[in-house]
């Protein structure tokens, strides 16, 4: 059976530059900026080194964005990395990427965000959402306990999936609106922290005892936390086929959005450490909340909880909007279930792909295993990210005739820096978490029999 060559109805370019920028900023800034400073200072010991880690992680992300800008402008198709891996290395590697995104990485990220929305941010107002709502009997082991927050998280995923089903323009407008609200609230928190006179410059010289005596390993552990907070800048590439003037707007969104996130993160950390010494940051589960509580009491803490909810909501909407284009692209190539390639005749969205991704992410919420699965595939995901960035080097040689409206600034140094950084992160993850890394690799390799099945059907 041959792969479907095209859909009867095509996707529409309904997203402008601001929607593309909002997808970068809104998807990257989730809950990480409120959480990871604790892990970072616990690993490296001092605020000064924390800022170095944020800068290194930001430059790594920027080098990736600069490279993706060339790839996305040259190949503005649905699926992002899926397209670049296919063109550079062939369908096997693109399938592995798409398989990982659909079943574990993107779906696990969506489940994690939705659960954090209710069980962390919303629970600060209504802690009763953590209470068990019932039990689901399982054929093996004991019954699975389900909380009210999990039910609400599932409902939120399905609601946002439904919203994006009815048109990418609707999803894009929601993304722009909530991203503006999110950034506005975060800047309010920064302004309050830096401008109300409750801080002390001496806090920047405070230190805590580090959890890892190996300085290099500690730096990489902190860097992993920072990169988790920066993760998502690449998602906008997944919807390049629906962005107007992608040859101009994709590079602008990737580079401008990445620089904006880096600036926001550095300013936020400046506010945190200005108000709180390193010891208090290291002991804080939600550093922004504790900072605002110190200044304004419970009212300040509540403001941060609202900001966190809006921040997570924007990241969740952006993840569903972008992530659903990957299984669609796989199906268009004949490497996934054929209905996933259908485009809705009225709304011009990959409706079945959106529903499938949302439904599976909702199932992962109920399983309670989403964050563990997400951790497992960090190792495999960064291998694929490194390969994607290296694709710009491969395609310069393999496809020199390809039109390139944007060429990577600092080529070939910039992409090589990202590839080497990704390699270092992969090696560090393998040594620090060998069991999780190998389990994640096993989850990815489970997809190989399916690849060969679909490859055979395409002949």
Task: Kindly report the pTM of this predicted structure.
Answer: 0.90
Inform me whether the pLDDT recorded for 152 exceeds 90.
Answer: yes
How many independent structural domains does the chain possess?
1
**Is the confidence at residue 337, as pLDDT, over 50?**
yes
Does residue 89 belong to any structural domain of this protein? yes
DSSP string, 101-142: IIIIIHHHHHHHHHHHIIIIIGGGT-GGGGSEEEEE--SSSS
Lowest mean pLDDT among 99-103, 271-275, 429-433: 429-433
Q: Which two tokens stand for residue 382?
A: 């960064």
CA angle 307, 311, 314 (to 5 degrees): 140
Asked, for residue 7, whether it belongs to a domain, the answer is: no
Task: Taking residues 276-301, report their average pLDDT.
Answer: 92
Q: Residue 348: inside a domain, yes or no?
A: yes
User: Is 6's pLDDT higher than 50?
Assistant: no
Does residue 23 surpass a pLDDT of 70? yes
- pLDDT tens-digit series, residues 400-422: 999 999 999 999 999 999 999 88
Nearest to 268 by CA among 200, 207, 188: 188
pLDDT by residue (tens digit) across 240-264?
A: 999 999 999 999 999 999 999 999 9
Report the pLDDT averaged over residues 297-306. Answer: 90
Question: What is the SS3 assignment for 231?
Answer: coil
Report the range of poorest mean pLDDT among 26-35, 58-67, 144-153, 373-382: 373-382
Q: Mean of the pLDDT values across residues 442-452? A: 92
The values of phi and psi at residue 399, to 5°, are: -130, 65
Task: Give me the percent of the chain exceeding a pLDDT of 90.
Answer: 69
What number is the average pLDDT over the span 324-344? 96
Residue 134: which pLDDT band, with cuts at 50, 70 and 90? confident
Q: How many other β-carbons are positioned within 10 Å of the β-carbon of residue 217?
A: 14
Q: Which DSSP symbol is given to 196?
A: S
List of residues 6+ apart from 13 with CB closer than 8 A? 241, 242, 243, 244, 246
Is 9 within the bounds of a domain? no
Q: C-alpha 299: how far from its chain's center?
A: 30
pLDDT at 239: 94
The per-residue pLDDT of the chain, averaged, comes to 90
pLDDT of residue 374: 67
For 164, the domain range is 17-458
- Is residue 12 a part of any domain in this protein? no
pLDDT at position 145 over 90? no
| Residue 8: pLDDT over 90 | no
Average pLDDT over residues 88-103: 95
Which has the minimum average pLDDT: 134-143, 315-324, 341-350, 377-386?
Answer: 134-143
- Higher confidence at residue 149 or residue 424? 149
Question: What pLDDT is stored for residue 119 in this prediction?
Answer: 86
Output the pLDDT for position 371.
Answer: 67
Domain with residue 77: its CATH number is: 1.20.1740.10
In a domain, 6, yes or no: no
Which region among 99-103, 146-150, 288-292, 439-443 has the lowest average model confidence (pLDDT)? Answer: 439-443
The answer to whether position 10 is within a domain reads: no
Average pLDDT over every residue of 152-166: 96
The pLDDT of 258-279, averaged and rounded, is 96
pLDDT at 370 over 90: no
Q: Which residues contact 170 (CB under 8 A, 6 or more apart)?
A: 163, 164
Q: Is residue 355 one of the residues assigned to a domain?
A: yes
């Amino acid at each position: 059976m041959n792969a479907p060559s095209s859909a009867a109805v095509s996707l529409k370019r309904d997203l402008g530059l601001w929607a593309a920028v909002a997808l970068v900023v809104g998807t990257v800034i989730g809950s990480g900026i409120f959480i990871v400073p604790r892990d970072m200072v616990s690993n490296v010991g001092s605020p000064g080194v924390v800022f170095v880690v944020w800068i290194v992680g930001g430059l790594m992300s920027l080098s990736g964005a600069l490279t993706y800008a060339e790839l996305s402008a040259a190949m503005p198709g649905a699926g992002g990395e899926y397209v670049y891996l296919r063109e550079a290395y062939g369908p096997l590697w693109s399938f592995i990427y798409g398989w990982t995104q659909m079943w574990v990485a993107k779906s696990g990220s969506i489940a994690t965000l939705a659960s954090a929305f209710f069980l962390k941010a919303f629970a600060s107002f209504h802690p009763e959402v953590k209470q068990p709502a019932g039990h689901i009997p399982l054929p093996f082991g004991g019954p699975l306990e389900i909380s009210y927050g999990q039910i609400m998280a599932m409902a939120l995923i399905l609601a946002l999936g439904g919203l994006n089903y009815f048109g990418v323009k609707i999803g894009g407008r929601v993304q722009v609106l909530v991203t503006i609200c999110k950034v506005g609230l975060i800047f309010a928190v920064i302004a309050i922290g830096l401008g109300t006179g409750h801080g002390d410059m001496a806090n920047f010289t405070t230190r805590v005892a580090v959890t890892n005596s190996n300085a290099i390993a500690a730096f990489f552990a902190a860097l992993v936390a920072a990169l988790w907070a920066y993760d998502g800048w690449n998602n906008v590439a997944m919807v390049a086929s629906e962005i107007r003037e992608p040859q101009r707007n994709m590079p602008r969104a990737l580079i401008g959005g990445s620089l904006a996130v880096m600036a926001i993160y550095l300013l936020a950390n400046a506010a945190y450490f200005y108000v709180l010494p390193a010891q208090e940051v290291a002991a804080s589960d939600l550093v922004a909340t504790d900072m605002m509580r110190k200044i304004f009491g419970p009212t300040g803490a509540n403001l941060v909880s609202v900001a966190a909810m809006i921040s997570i909501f924007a990241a969740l909407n952006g993840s569903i909007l972008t992530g659903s284009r990957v299984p669609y692209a796989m199906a268009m190539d004949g490497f996934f279930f054929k209905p996933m390639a259908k485009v809705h005749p009225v709304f011009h969205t990959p409706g079945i792909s959106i529903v499938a991704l949302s439904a599976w992410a909702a199932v992962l919420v109920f399983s309670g295993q989403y964050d563990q699965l997400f951790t497992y595939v960090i190792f495999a995901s960064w291998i694929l990210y490194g390969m994607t960035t290296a694709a710009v080097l491969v395609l310069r040689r393999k496809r020199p005739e390809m039109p390139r409206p944007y060429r990577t600034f600092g080529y070939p140094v910039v992409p090589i820096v990202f590839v080497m950084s990704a390699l270092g992160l992969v090696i560090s993850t393998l040594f620090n978490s060998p069991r999780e890394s190998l389990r994640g690799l096993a989850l990815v390799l489970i997809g190989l029999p399916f690849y060969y099945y679909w490859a055979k059907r395409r002949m």
